A and B are shown apart, each in its own frame.
Chain A
Amino acid sequence: MKKQNHINFITVVLFFGVIATLMIYFGISALLQTESGDRLNAAIYESDRLGEIIDNLNFKLFKEVDDDNVIVGSDRFLFERTNGENGYSYLRDYRGEASFSPAELELMRQSIEERRTAYENGGAEYLLVVIPNSITVYSENMPFHYGKLSENTRLSQLSEYLSESETDCFFNATDTLISAKNKGQLYNNTENSLNALGAYTLYISLLEQIAKISGTEAIGAVPVPDFHSRLDIGKETAQKAGLQNLALNLTISMSSPPTTLYREGADYQSLGITKMSDALSELGIMLEYNDDWFRVILEPYFSNTFASVAYKQNLMFSEFANSKSAPSIVIQLIYEYELESLLDEKTALTYGAGTKSEGTLLRTPRPTILGSAHMDADSVCIFGMAEKRSELTLKTSDGRIISQSVPSGQFFIRVDIPEELDSVKVDISAKNGIKKASSPVSLMVVRDENAPTANVEIGKNSELFAAKYPIDLVSDPEELKSKICKDPYIVRLQQITEKPTEYVQVIVPSKLTVRADDAPSYLMPTVQKLSELRRAAMGLEEFGVCVIDATAALCEKDRFDMYCLTGDIPTALGAYEIYRTVAAALGFFVPEGEPSLSSSIILGGKFISALGLDPTVFSELSESCEAPSDSVELTFYGKADLAQKYRAKNKNASLPTAIIIHDEYGTEAARYLCECFGEVIVYAESDFRIDAEDLAELKPDYVIKIVGENNMLTQ
């Protein structure tokens, strides 16, 4: 009985001891709470410290995390159940529960073949590479109760199907990576991505594939770098679960990266190009991917191997990218979880540009729809390519007929979805002169209530305009005049240069002014306002400013290629015309006749970006003209880009000097204007603050400001 009492006593003491301890601990925590409300509950349920301890214990004891989407595997591996971006279920695919249907597999095969055809038409070989998920390569690290990796995953299904249908432009990297696991960890354990060692393994296997495709013998590889491993804070999957400090990442990186023998070339938003002379291979490669991590891990290897490597961060067909990089082989890298993107209609449409039909002598070729984008919830802009100077006819399923001219070969048509309908089917056919109309091409456009309103309007002749110009502030031209002229700018300027430096203001009209006939009628008041704005700007002459308005010169040349179709700024040809106007006005030599023109593909203009599209994919056909002479040498202060600050020196040093400031309307024209001067400093686009040091050092004869008419107020 005594022993019994002892046990009872100890039980009671310990029980009440625990309760009393918690009472004191939570009580003090509650008292220390600064926020009002239920302090006790907050001390227990909202305590960061306690939460951290609980998360820690949960992870260590039960291998559980406070995120239903994360699976804790062995060897520090974290896996995701579902991809948050595209909804792909890693787990269902792992179990073989997310198979593709035969129809989907066939569509994928067709998509891959279409890609191959598009690139082959441009003279490049094509290879699609699929990088397996980490859950596939490290399936043994999955908790046992999820079972083994199914033999019926989407990737194995597709591999098998493509193998049976003899599609050889496909490479599944699963076996390569699995067989290389003995060399070390190939994936980051807290993110579904390859590490440096995995990237090197992939690089070596891709070299074999490239050699096979290009019919060359083995391509020399960058020597195996030294790798070292360290524990870092957890990567993306760990961060999503708030475990970055607990689930550490075994990072494998190069001890010393290979010597960079290549140089960075031009950079066009989603496209970057590197060049290397005396490369191990003279081939030009274009790597396309969605995840920019591929560039980070593959660039040290690829750029040090091939003469030219283009890195493009999307899988859409881009004539611009092809023209800039001229690849021999295009390699598209996708992760296993992105396989469904092969069925993406928007991506597939872009390949129409590479596989477009040629038509016949008697029949107009079918137009190619490259895509569509919402201008607002119930208006869609359809764009594509058709025969130059053809007329398009668009018939909607609700009986409307819309016409559009295609002077340049690229078209844009607006389709409004009636209030009572959620979607409209459109059939577009083209007809050129006496040729028969083409067969129609169809597209379904669907209302999207969440689509933002884009500042884009489509006019006649497929011209894009801004729906709103930022000139609403201009109510009174006189007010503007006083605003522009009140600054004693010129006086200060001449004090610094200690000479009668001439200040020249060049007004570049917007496309709306020059192509007003093509613009929608509701923009006419804007045209009027812009005209008033220009007149007001002429008032600057009263203050000793030389004002040159290029409007008349550009309007005289009634040509479609003076302005970008997809933007508001002049093309190279338009810029050349501005140069001639300015040179003539200032009394410099003006080249006679037409410049030497060449066709080129330029980045899509600002209206493409306004529609939410990638300008490298939705590029524009344009004509560029050569520089008038080779007597000017440019020296860039930073990146070799005309939009950046540079200095130009003419062989003829006796010419006057100048500083040119400009916005995007004057970038190209500024380059041409360099021909007129012995030495010029051209400032970066939209940088209007001239350094006093530059003025004092160069002592320019001219300071020239080249701006768009609708930008005069915003500067």
Chain B
Amino acid sequence: MYLTAPAFLFIAFPLFTAIYALVPRSVKKQALAAFCPLVYMLANIYNPFSLIFLVLTVIAVYLGTKWIDMLRGRRRGIVAAVFVAVLIEIFVSLRVLSAFGISPVGYPFGASIWLLAAVSCIIDVKRGDAPPPTAVDAVLYISYFPVMLVGPIVKYRDSLELFRAPEMTLDRLARGAEYFMLGFVKIFAVTLPVFDILGSIFDNIEMGFGIFATVEFIVLINIGAYSAFSGYSDMASGVSLIWGIELPKNFARPFASASPFESLRSFMITLYDYLRDYLFLPLLGRKKGKLRRAVAFAGCFIAASFWLRSSLWMTAFAIVCSILLGAFFVRSSGGKRSRAARVLGYILTPVCAALFWSIAMMPNGMPNMSFFATVFESFGKPGSISVLGSVSAEKYIFTLLTAVFLLLISERAQKNVLTARDDIGKIISNAVLLLLFVFAVFFVFPQYPQIAGVGLEIL
């Protein structure tokens, strides 16, 4: 179930949290393991394929890991590899089919996350990093729905500790509430207005793009992408914290990146960690040569791009970028850059990110060269569109101020300042956040019915 769905926000979440609070700590894990599949089932009651698919995945992981655990030597590796290959094949097929709208069964909600979780579980057990999951562990780990939209992606071996003994404390409840409100406000008070503006820009692109509009576009698309992903991620972290589970940090400071690599490392950290652990390092092997490092990096970049958006544009762009970035990776690795290069990097990185997210927003299907021709011709046209024109100046300023405020308190949260004593800043920020939350939930939330059931395709 989507965290922004009314049925979750106003029924499932408060009711379950109330019951969960009354459940003894020793059985909270079991309560979660019962609640999560139940919610998933209710949310997908008209889409039985998703449900069947989830159940099969849980069974496959549970039995598969038991089998792998029993095996030794080469056979253990082969069985694990077969499992992983099948899971990846299913993931790729589903993404490609649904991207072109030809999937007969649609795309199961959360499959992008739980298939990665299943792969993590298989590999961790094969490597001996973690024991095979119990039935409760398997159900909870695979069907833990708060993270199903954009994560954070929890590796199986880490999940054992996270889910071991959830404990509801006042501190966690408060931080969870803050995270939840932070994410909610990011989605409704920043992401959606920003994407409205960006949509308007795309609609009127033939009017021309002046320099000012270009800068605005770059800033807005970075803000939009960041607040969309981190918003859902923060909400997942918030819900989990309220339930006593502290998920790993998923976003650092993506705007303070001096290179695309830094940006990648700070944007969806858990995905980066996941790919590093399960793809980059295995591809790198033991030799760790520069070329191999570049190939491993390219593989990770293509995989991450595909995971974010499965479209022809994105795949083509990812292949080209991975080659360029790989080449750059080879040349630059190990060397230190000058201050001027870093300053240039701070300027160019958002531009690269804007290009990346622009491609992610492109519609599916065959590339349309006339679109690029229009964009190319539009730059620097005297009668350029004004980004402001698509919303009122008041709303525009409000959105930007909210974005800055949220960015600042996100930074505070990342630094764990929020737990410091006598922090006046915390009182003010919490008060403002609460007001923004009330504003978002009363005023903005009812204006976007489509968000109740929209996932990553928001982009």
Interface residues of A (CB under 8 A from B): 1, 3-5, 7-9, 11-12, 14-16, 18-20, 22-23, 26-27, 40-41, 44-45, 47, 50-51, 54, 57-58, 61-64, 72, 91, 95-97, 143-147
Interface mask (B164-178 → A, CB under 8 Å = 1, otherwise 0): 000000110111011
Partner of B443, one of A19, A26, A57: A57
B386 touches A96 (CB 8 A): no
Residue numbers in A under 8 Å from B449 (CB-CB): 41, 44-45
Residue numbers in A under 8 Å from B443 (CB-CB): 54, 57-58
Smallest Cβ distance from B442 to chain A, in angstroms? 8
Per the 8 Å Cβ criterion, residues 265-322 of B in contact with A are none
Looking at B13, B181, B392, the one whose CB has the most chain A CB atoms below 10 A away is B392
A15 touches B177 (CB 8 A): yes
B177 touches A50 (CB 8 A): no
The answer for the CA separation of A63 and B171 in the assembled complex, in Å, is 40
The answer for the CA separation of A97 and B438 in the assembled complex, in Å, is 42
B422 touches A3 (CB 8 A): yes
The answer for the CA separation of A14 and B174 in the assembled complex, in Å, is 10
Partner of A27, one of B10, B391, B438, B447: B10
B430 touches A11 (CB 8 A): yes
9 A-B contact pairs sorted by A residue (CB < 8 Å): A11-B434, A15-B181, A22-B9, A64-B392, A64-B395, A72-B392, A97-B383, A144-B393, A145-B393
Residue numbers in A under 8 Å from B386 (CB-CB): 145-147
A61 touches B394 (CB 8 A): yes
B6 touches A62 (CB 8 A): no
B10 touches A40 (CB 8 A): yes
The answer for the CA separation of A147 and B388 in the assembled complex, in Å, is 11
Residue B207, interface by CB 8 Å:
yes
Residue numbers in B under 8 Å from A15 (CB-CB): 177, 180-181, 434, 437
If A8-B170, A11-B178, A96-B383 touch, whether A41 touches B10 (CB-CB below 8 Å) is: no
Residue numbers in B under 8 Å from A97 (CB-CB): 207, 383
Per the 8 Å Cβ criterion, residues 443-459 of B in contact with A are 443, 445-447, 449, 452
Smallest Cβ distance from A69 to chain B, in angstroms? 12
A143 touches B392 (CB 8 A): yes
| Secondary structure class of chain B's binding surface, majority of residues | helix
| Secondary structure class of chain A's binding surface, majority of residues | helix
Smallest Cβ distance from A81 to chain B, in angstroms? 9
Closest to A50 in B: B446
The answer for the CA separation of A142 and B6 in the assembled complex, in Å, is 38
Residue numbers in B under 8 Å from A61 (CB-CB): 394, 398
Smallest Cβ distance from B427 to chain A, in angstroms? 6
A47 touches B13 (CB 8 A): no
Smallest Cβ distance from A163 to chain B, in angstroms? 25
A-B pairs with lowest CB-CB distance, top 7: A8-B174, A15-B177, A145-B388, A45-B449, A62-B395, A97-B383, A23-B10
Residue numbers in A under 8 Å from B174 (CB-CB): 7-9, 11-12
Smallest Cβ distance from B192 to chain A, in angstroms? 13
Closest to B397 in A: A62
Closest to B419 in A: A4
Residue numbers in B under 8 Å from A18 (CB-CB): 434, 437-438, 441
Closest to B447 in A: A54
A8 touches B10 (CB 8 A): no
The answer for the CA separation of A147 and B213 in the assembled complex, in Å, is 14
Having A23-B10, A47-B446, one finds 15 other A-B pairs with CB under 8 Å, namely A1-B421, A3-B421, A3-B422, A7-B174, A8-B174, A9-B170, A18-B437, A23-B11, A26-B10, A61-B398, A62-B392, A62-B398, A63-B392, A63-B394, A97-B383
A44 touches B6 (CB 8 A): yes
Partner of B13, one of A5, A19, A57, A58: A19
Smallest Cβ distance from A217 to chain B, in angstroms? 47
Smallest Cβ distance from A635 to chain B, in angstroms? 63
The answer for the CA separation of A63 and B397 in the assembled complex, in Å, is 12
The answer for the CA separation of A23 and B426 in the assembled complex, in Å, is 27
The answer for the CA separation of A147 and B447 in the assembled complex, in Å, is 29
Residue numbers in B under 8 Å from A22 (CB-CB): 9-10, 441-442
Residue B101, interface by CB 8 Å:
no
Residue numbers in A under 8 Å from B421 (CB-CB): 1, 3-4
Residue B14, interface by CB 8 Å:
yes
The answer for the CA separation of A50 and B441 in the assembled complex, in Å, is 12
Residue B59, interface by CB 8 Å:
no
Residue numbers in A under 8 Å from B207 (CB-CB): 97
